[in-house]
């Protein structure tokens, strides 16, 4: 397992000459970090502005796409005007240490509960710079992240986290579950302790300075009255903007502090409570009788980290009487074809409603100007992606609902 994940430290996607060189660099950095737990890396900035690293960073950002930032510069426009010259200009800025991030663009996206989540969208230029730093730093910190952490890591995904939680429940009888939720985790991370997490491995001053600049970037939002500019993150010294390329790694680094404290704590041994974490979602799987103690200890540790537990959404669930949702799956009683109950998983109602809304949106009247073939292709893409993830447990009823809606 560890060897397979180490092989994925290199950039994803089809191999390119630049990608092969970057993969070699990343494997070297990962091996050094793995071999020397306390080692701090002093010379990293020269690797960030390497031509092959920037080329690979551009390739990854281009593949992910996304809306333009405050400068409204788009990938296709950059390519039309000359990507090579654009990258060379960015490389010069980075090499000369003249690079400074531009403000983030505030956009709002709907959440599953009907509320809106704020995103901070960097410009294409800042996305590529962040991706370059990520290519260099991720393999270093990958050596330190814990096995309980599954989010945004090479070789790991959300379904693996679901399987791990299922393993704790079914194989080890950990039937008391602390179904936890944090208030606005990404925007609540305090900058000073977060930077100490980074500096534990990184001693390169220019890298540290640039990360601080990203954390304190102002936010621009277009309103009916015109543009507004806020500096909430810099003033409050909290938050890593959702929407940034580099933010998931920073979120993982800070959550590692909780995961490490939990692993080393006496409560973990006394309650046999095991953590499963994906980004800001996590559960604590406990043996019967240990849930209340684990819940209280979790609240205490989060308070020490400067984070707030969302009490409205945090609860203690006792299986099999109760059930809980985690990463799109509902854990609880399921029923086989013979009608016998068993502890298992199924796609949650919320996940099913979300894909049904997506299908409805993709087949609505506003697409009348596009061809039927194009609509069928898009709906099939949505269904393939959804069914690829939701393929564990009794899923055929959910599949039938999706098929009838399409």
| pLDDT given for residue 365 in this prediction | 64
- The first and second tokens of residue 167, run together, are 């393993």
**Confidence (pTM):** 0.91
| pLDDT given for residue 337 in this prediction | 77
Per residue in 330-341, pLDDT (tens digit) is: 999 988 777 788
What's the CA gap between 238 and 325, in Å, rounded? 29
**In 3D, which of 395, 134, 90 has the Cα closest to residue 251?**
134
* pLDDT at residue 13 is higher than 50: no
Per residue in 215-252, pLDDT (tens digit) is: 999 999 888 888 889 888 899 999 998 888 999 999 99
Average of per-residue pLDDT across 9-23:
64
Per residue in 159-170, pLDDT (tens digit) is: 999 999 999 999
Q: Please indicate whether residue 18 or residue 268 has the higher confidence score (pLDDT).
A: 268
Q: What are phi and psi of 55, to 5 degrees?
A: -65, -45
Confidence of residue 14 (pLDDT cuts 50, 70, 90): very low
Confidence of residue 8 (pLDDT cuts 50, 70, 90): low
116-121/176-180 β-pairing: unpaired
| pLDDT given for residue 1 in this prediction | 53
* pLDDT at residue 18 is higher than 90: no
* pLDDT at residue 42 is higher than 80: yes
What's the CA gap between 342 and 320, in Å, rounded? 9
* pLDDT at residue 271 is higher than 60: yes
What's the CA gap between 99 and 91, in Å, rounded? 9
The three-state secondary structure class of 393 is coil
Reading phi first (left if > 0) and then psi (alpha if -120 to 50, else beta), residue 202 is in: beta
Per residue in 147-198, pLDDT (tens digit) is: 999 999 999 999 999 999 999 999 999 999 999 999 999 999 999 999 999 9
Virtual torsion, Cα 397, 398, 403, 406, nearest 10 deg? 150
| pLDDT given for residue 113 in this prediction | 67
Confidence of residue 66 (pLDDT cuts 50, 70, 90): confident
Bridge partners of 227, per DSSP, are 222
Confidence of residue 266 (pLDDT cuts 50, 70, 90): confident
Confidence of residue 69 (pLDDT cuts 50, 70, 90): very high
Q: Among 16-30, 34-48, 52-66, 368-382, which stretch is predicted with the lowest mean pLDDT?
A: 368-382
Strand order of the β-sheet with 315-318 is: 274-278, 281-286, 176-180, 315-318
Confidence of residue 37 (pLDDT cuts 50, 70, 90): very high
Vertex 22, ends 205 and 58: CA angle to 5°? 85
């Amino acid at each position: 397992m560890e060897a397979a994940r180490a092989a994925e430290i290199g950039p994803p996607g089809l191999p390119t000459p630049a990608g092969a060189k970057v993969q070699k660099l990343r494997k070297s950095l990962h091996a050094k970090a793995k071999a020397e737990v306390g080692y701090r890396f002093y010379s990293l900035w020269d690797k960030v502005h390497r031509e092959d690293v920037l080329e690979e960073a551009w390739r990854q950002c281009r593949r992910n796409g996304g809306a333009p930032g405050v400068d409204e510069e788009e990938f296709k426009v950059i390519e039309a005007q000359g990507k090579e010259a654009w990258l060379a200009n960015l490389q010069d800025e980075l090499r000369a240490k003249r690079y400074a991030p531009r403000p983030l663009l505030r956009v709002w996206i709907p959440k599953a509960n009907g509320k809106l989540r704020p995103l901070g969208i960097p410009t294409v230029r800042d996305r590529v710079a962040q991706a370059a730093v990520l290519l260099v730093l991720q393999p270093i910190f990958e050596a330190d992240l814990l096995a309980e952490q599954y989010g945004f890591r090479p070789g790991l995904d959300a379904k693996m986290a679901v399987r791990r939680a299922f393993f704790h429940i079914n194989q080890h009888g950990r039937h008391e579950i602390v179904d936890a939720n944090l208030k606005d985790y990404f925007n609540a991370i305090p900058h000073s302790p977060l930077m100490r997490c980074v500096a534990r491995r990184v001693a390169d001053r220019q890298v540290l300075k640039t990360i601080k600049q990203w954390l304190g970037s102002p936010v621009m939002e277009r309103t009916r009255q015109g543009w507004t500019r806020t500096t909430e993150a810099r003033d409050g010294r909290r938050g890593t903007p959702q929407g940034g390329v580099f933010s998931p790694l920073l979120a993982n680094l800070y959550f590692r502090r909780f995961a490490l404290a939990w692993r080393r704590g006496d409560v973990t041994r006394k309650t046999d409570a095991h953590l499963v974490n994906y980004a800001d979602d996590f559960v604590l799987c406990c043996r019967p009788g240990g849930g209340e103690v684990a819940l209280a200890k979790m609240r205490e540790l989060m308070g020490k980290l400067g984070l707030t537990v969302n009490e409205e959404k945090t609860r203690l669930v006792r299986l099999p009487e109760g059930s809980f949702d985690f990463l799109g799956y509902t854990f609880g009683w399921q029923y086989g074809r013979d009608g016998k109950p068993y502890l298992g998983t199924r796609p949650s109602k919320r996940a099913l409603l979300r894909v049904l809304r997506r299908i409805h949106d993709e087949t609505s009247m506003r697409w009348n100007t596009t061809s039927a073939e194009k609509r069928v292709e898009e709906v099939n893409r949505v269904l393939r992606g959804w069914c690829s993830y939701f393929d564990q447990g009794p899923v055929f009823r959910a599949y039938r609902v999706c098929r009838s809606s399409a």
